[in-house]
Amino acid sequence: MISPFALVDKLAAENALSRGEMTLLLESLTPELAERLFERAREARHAVYGKDVFMRGLIEFTNYCRNDCLYCGIRKSNPDADRYRLSLEEILSCCDQGHELGFRTFVLQGGEDPHYTDERMVGIVRAIRSAHPDCAITLSLGERSVESYRRLYDAGAERYLLRHETRNEAHYASLHPESMSLRNRLECLRNLREIGYQVGCGFMVGSPDQTVECLVDDLMFIKEFKPHMVGIGPFIPHKDTPFADRPAGSLELTVFLLGILRLLDPRLLLPATTALGTISPTGRETGVLAGANVIMPNLSPVGVRNKYLLYDNKICTGDEAAECRFCIQRRMFSIGYDIAVTRGDYAGLTGDERQAV
């Protein structure tokens, strides 16, 4: 039987493994194997992106949500979530401040909040686009109609993050209420990519009932779907959810998966997430050393930061945007990486695609 070390080399050489090989790789996780994987992942990442880390300014503009995902602290049936919405002016002021700080991508993330109709969202996207024509706009607003996605794209949004959460039907059903379906989620992802967005999918690591088979399903799906971005982070319980007593996902498995994803597509935009920084004080640095190349510091106004709580003990809830920005820079310098003041597009895009905004 092929050794797990040889599997890492095969993955690095071919950017693919069979289901059986991927299963074996995941089941063979040891610190030594992880180190081999991270070395290969860093080589792949340096060949495409060098030692640049792209920063995205995250603006959490609403924590109202019509959904009831069992893992999430802002689910609609959590009466203790202190709800807020940011106005257009507040969002623009976050972007202005972010631009000063060197951000060239803004990520607008929110719960599925019916207040933000297509008209309102189009207005917000247009206003950001005209105030900051040199910046990319990423949306993360959950499931919407194909018309809605198209209108937002036409208004100037060019990237969309929608984690698929899990590619396993039974697992999807155990994490979500009956009103939600994996089928619809995947349909949204296909629509987004068809419209022309750079698309990000992703999943939590160590979510309740997740098995190795689920993770293999996720990785095989990503290989086939070929997203531009993949957001993964550990599951972390939130005290007011049905999963309050479930254990958090581990740093080790999350960064191992980051390394695998880097080798599945060396051009991927792969964030070291806030959740990773929450389960370990140097989680984001470890993530970058495992193959991640994106960091998304928070740009939300300090007054609302401690309200966008998807999970417990989230970091940076008391810090100003500038503090996070320079904290990230120090952290990246400390491991020999640089912050790039650029839009940070997917390396595979042609010049035309980049200019099509």
323 is an interface residue for ligand FES by CB under 6 A: yes
72 is an interface residue for ligand 5AD by CB under 6 A: yes
Contact mark string toward ligand 5AD, 101..140, x via CB under 6 A: ----------------------------------------
- Give Cβ neighbours of residue 128 (< 8 Å, ≥ 6 apart): 91, 92, 95, 106, 135, 137, 156
297 binds, among ligand 5AD, ligand FES, none (CB under 5 to 8 A by kind): ligand FES
Instruction: Identify which range of 1-9, 85-93, 122-130, 319-327 contacts ligand FES by CB under 6 A.
Output: 319-327
CA distance 143 to 201: 12
310 binds, among ligand FES, ligand 5AD, none (CB under 5 to 8 A by kind): ligand 5AD
Considering only residues 310 to 329 of the shown chain, the ones binding ligand 5AD according to CB under 6 A are 310-311
Residue 200: what are its φ and ψ, rounded to 5°?
Answer: -120, 130
236 is an interface residue for ligand 5AD by CB under 6 A: yes
Residue 246: what are its φ and ψ, rounded to 5°?
Answer: -80, 150
Longest dimension (CA), the chain: 61
Contact mark string toward ligand FES, 274..313, x via CB under 6 A: -----------------------x----------------
Query: Helix, strand, coil proportions of the chain in percent (round to 5)?
Result: 45, 15, 40
346 is an interface residue for ligand 5AD by CB under 6 A: no
The angle, 0 to 180 degrees and rounded to 10, between the axes of the packed helices 212-225 and 19-27 is: 130
Asked whether the beta carbons of 297 and 317 are under 8 A apart, the reply is no
Total of chain residues touching ligand 5AD, rule CB under 6 A: 12
CA distance 97 to 202: 29
Q: Is the dihedral of CA 93, 276, 329, 46 positive or negative?
A: negative
Single residue of 275, 289, 290, 328 touching ligand FES by CB under 6 A:
328
Interacting residue ranges for ligand FES, rule: CB under 6 A: 297, 316, 319, 323-324, 327-328
Interacting residue ranges for ligand 5AD, rule: CB under 6 A: 71-72, 163, 165, 204, 233, 235-236, 238, 275, 310-311
